[in-house]
Chain A
């Protein structure tokens, strides 16, 4: 019986519309309050999404995004066959894997170590000191590192002290990834540990008491109580991080790179910046889209895998 069903549908449609209208009227002043900021948000976070179209067009500045001619996947072909991109992608993946293996677990280890400290004053002191680098920009931190790692900088003074010969650390490509990883740990280990430390403080102390009664050693208590208790936090942080797999810290790398290390330091973000500076907007945007999609896909896949393993965990 199609007609009554359609009529019913119409009726419901009308009532939702009128309910919506009533809701608008009821929240009139809230909506007026909301709109300016919301429009600002849409302007700077969603209008650029429309601008992504230029990756599929031959963007002409005077024509604008819409009037520029379509070229399909041409820019993507240019991207994968042209110079620079594959090198940048390879460097990005290498740096990202290094950071995943070393920089990601570092704050977890620090939180575990801090949690075992019983002297409150000492723990607070170490925490306060370890947060410090987080508050400075990578311009400042790189300035410090340039001074510290220069030929007569602090590290070389230390080496000379022990009879080694000094090295100009930042000028050699072979040291670059090492410097990137170590300085990233320096910058982020303390700050990153806050989340894990909070998770550790939330563990029910009776679990430890039970462990002690059952004769578990301190090491066993850490391994069988502490570590499993913070696993949900670790998983969340991992999922939040995996979306940025191809964002390996532009600020850090751009400021630490020197002309002699640019071949190992060129990453996707610097590649996009160079396309902006050389006015090749379409190619740069294609590279940006590639990066965003890989990030989104990794988050979705990661979340699905976690959910498949344990449906109560994951980001949503």
Chain B
């Protein structure tokens, strides 16, 4: 390695400063909300950067966990997430595996149908009318069925199956294994890593999904967590612009709102360090050309 010049040293230094600033700017809003959620209303109103909680209190959390709608919404989100993941694993592998076999009839045409669906879709209103005509409004199926077989996931999983050497299938067949046995006993166990990535991907997607519930779910008892958050935090904040900001009582809900945000984000924050790696791996799977 050639010795670094002055200019290069300055560049390295500047680079690190820029990246540090970027990291701080990314984290600060999260730290701010966390701090506010752990503060008393008076502490939250104090002029300060609120980067760390000074005297942590769970006052706001104690109040918000008493809200009955929160737990109902939590349950609904857990149900849709679990159901969505199970569906994706079963249905997706059943679609992707046959499509990975080079002799499968109409393979090219079917692949084209999948790819085309990524470029052109019916859009919001035709999809809504379909769900309505299938009588799926106000059911969890409206939230899990439409996304169960997405083109992107099919292509990723198909590519993975394709990469498994054909000899494995041939030799299994030689030993008298039927297609279903080959699929269940050989292909599925081999694809556990990629299925894990797709499941995590789907789980986070379902946990964060809100728009489908906004249009397909009218019954408040069936509402998902994200919309509970939207109603309590965003709509409250956006419905009364101006006046409330001057109102001293405005400070009280600020800590409550922050606590609600934290409670909704907690599951993701907990699993984030573990799943982050898997997600990056998933992106690499996706970048393999279809």
B251 CB contacts on chain A under 8 angstroms: 152
Taking the closest CB of chain A, its distance from the CB of B285, in whole angstroms, is 11
Are A51 and B126 also in contact (CB < 8 A) when A38-B110, A117-B15 are? yes
Number of interface residues of B (CB under 8 A): 103
Asked whether B103 is an interface residue with its Cβ less than 8 Å from the other chain, the reply is yes
B178 within 8 A of A: yes
Which residue of A has the minimal Cβ distance to B132? Answer: A61
The smallest C-beta distance from B68 to any residue of chain A, in angstroms, reads 20
Kindly state the separation between the CA atoms of A309 and B208 in the bound complex, as whole angstroms. 41
- Other A-B pairs beyond A48-B126, A139-B226, 10, CB < 8 Å: A30-B98, A33-B98, A48-B127, A54-B129, A113-B15, A113-B19, A157-B47, A243-B119, A258-B237, A281-B125
Tell me if B's interface is mostly helix, strand, loop or mixed. Answer: helix
Number of interface residues of A (CB under 8 A): 101
Is the C-beta of B58 less than 8 angstroms from some C-beta in chain A? no
Complex contact A147–B258 (CB within 8 A): yes
On whether the beta carbons of B126 and A49 are closer than 8 Å, the reply is yes
Query: Known contacts A255-B230, A292-B123; is A45 also within 8 Å of B117 by CB?
Result: yes
Known: A116-B11, A126-B19, A154-B50. A29 touches B178 (CB 8 A): yes
Q: How far is the CA of A249 from the CA of B257 in the complex (A)?
A: 24
1/0 per residue B260-275: CB within 8 Å of A?
Answer: 1100110010001101
* A15 in the interface (beta carbon within 8 A): no
User: Do B33 and A148 touch (CB < 8 A)?
Assistant: yes
Q: Is A47 part of the binding interface, using a Cβ–Cβ cutoff of 8 Å?
A: yes
Query: Is B49 a contact partner of A154 (Cβ separation < 8 A)?
Result: yes
Contact across chains for B125 and A153 when beta carbons are under 8 A apart: no
- Kindly identify which residue among B18, B229, B284 contacts A139, using a CB–CB cutoff of 8 Å: B229
Q: Which of B103, B147, B258, B272 contacts A132 (CB 8 A)?
A: B272
Q: Mark A131-155, 1 if CB is under 8 A from B, else 0.
A: 1110111011011111110111110
Binds B, one of A1-9, A94-102, A271-279: A271-279
A46 touches B113 (CB 8 A): yes
- Say yes or no: A44-B120 contact (C-beta < 8 A), given A33-B98, A251-B211: no
B160 proximal to A (CB < 8 A):
no
Tell me which residues across on chain A come within 8 A of B11, comparing CB atoms.
116, 218-219
Docked CA distance A43–B113 (Å): 12
The yes or no answer to B121 lying at the interface (CB within 8 A) is: yes
